[in-house]
Amino acid sequence: MKIREAVENYLEKIYIEIHKKGKVRQADICSAMHYSRPTVSIMLRDLRDKGYIHIDEKGFLSLTEKGTEIAGRVFERHCIIAAVLMFWGVTEETAMEDACKIEHDISDESFESIRKYYQNIKKCNHTDKMQ
């Protein structure tokens, strides 16, 4: 089943914020994504209802196993695609923006090829430009 891009973006952002701060609440996601509280509230309710996140009694968010799997996959794609783009000379800002667009639509086959390319570059000690 294809996951909506918005769902992937929210799960990835929750994943990133949890790794940065340890604990996150709705307000942290609003701030990180620059969305209004009502917009984020609706999406978080949907993510909870679909089993991607858990919201505890204090309002802290956590990813379920299913949510973590999706968020980790999207985050890995983002990081690798951005790193390859920067290696090719794309500015960091543009690479990060473009990686965010590409990560959702690229096929598994194409991403695996990019991942292998990335791993080969790292092996060749060209890691000074790679993440």
Domain boundaries, the chain: 5-69, 74-123
SS3 (DSSP) at 119:
helix
Contact 13, 63 (CB under 8 A): no
The CATH code of the domain at 5-69 is: 1.10.10.10
**Cβ burial, residue 13 (10 Å; 0-12/13-18/19+):** buried
The predicted structure's pLDDT at residue 121: 85
Architecture of 74-123 per CATH?
Orthogonal Bundle (1.10)
Question: What are the tens digits of pLDDT across the range 59-109?
Answer: 999 999 999 999 999 999 999 999 999 999 999 999 999 999 999 999 999
Residues with Cβ within 8 Å of residue 33, at least 6 apart in sequence: 9, 10, 13, 40
| pLDDT for residue 127 is more than 60 | no
Average per-residue pLDDT in the chain?
92
pLDDT at 38 over 80: yes
Angle at 29 between CA 90 and CA 114, to 5 degrees: 30
Q: What is the pLDDT of residue 76?
A: 96
Closest-CA residue to 85 (of 108, 104, 101): 101
